[in-house]
């Protein structure tokens, strides 16, 4: 297992029809992290903050990329200020809990499309719908580039 430092570019677009102030909101950040390959899974570790620089809002994230019969799977594990285990597989819906400072919510993710390209860099595109407590919340697009 050979670990190497990487730069992670995170871009997300959130289309939340019930909240006009978030409709089409874009969130972008660039963080430093660590990449390693273990078996046939790619791991990317990085930290993010709900409020920049405030340690109390820190979440340690693990992004795991794998393939089964050429179908990509991406798991995103968050621990810290927020906690969850989100799984993305094209055409599938997964339920998980989402822990925040405001409480724990039942979250479901319905992945419409997932594209993963691994070469010298890694590129991930995720198109998914988010449900909280069985209620549709938003249609989201996430792009992650690892260099």
Kindly tell me the sign of the dihedral angle through the C-alpha atoms of 87, 15, 142, 53: negative
Please answer whether residues 93 and 68 qualify as being in contact, where contact means their C-beta atoms are separated by less than 8 angstroms.
Answer: no
Per-residue pLDDT of the chain (147 residues; tens, 9 = 90+): 799 999 999 999 988 776 544 456 788 999 999 999 999 999 999 998 766 556 666 889 999 999 999 999 999 999 987 889 999 999 999 999 988 888 898 999 999 999 999 999 999 999 999 998 889 999 999 999 999
- pLDDT value of residue 53: 56
- pLDDT value of residue 9: 97
Residue ranges in the chain assigned as alpha helix (H): none
CA distances from 50 to 43, 60, 73, 129 (A): 22, 11, 26, 22
Length of the chain: 147
- pLDDT value of residue 19: 53
Kindly report the number of other CB atoms within 10 A of residue 72's CB atom.
Answer: 19
Please answer whether residues 47 and 31 qualify as being in contact, where contact means their C-beta atoms are separated by less than 8 angstroms.
Answer: yes
pTM of the model: 0.87
């Amino acid at each position: 297992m050979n670990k190497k430092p990487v730069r992670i570019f995170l871009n997300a677009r959130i289309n939340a029809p019930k909240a006009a102030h978030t409709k089409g909101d874009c969130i972008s950040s660039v963080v430093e992290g660590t990449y390693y390959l273990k078996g046939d899974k790619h791991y990317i570790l990085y930290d993010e903050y709900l409020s920049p620089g405030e340690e109390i809002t820190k979440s340690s994230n693990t992004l795991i990329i794998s393939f089964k019969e050429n179908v990509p799977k991406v798991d995103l594990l968050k621990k810290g200020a927020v906690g969850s285990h989100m799984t993305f597989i094209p055409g599938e819906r997964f339920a998980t809990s989402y822990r925040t400072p405001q409480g724990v919510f039942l979250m479901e993710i319905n992945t419409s499309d997932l594209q993963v390209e691994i070469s010298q860099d890694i590129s991930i595109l995720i198109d998914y719908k988010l449900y909280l407590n069985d209620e549709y919340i938003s249609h989201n697009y996430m792009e992650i580039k690892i260099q």
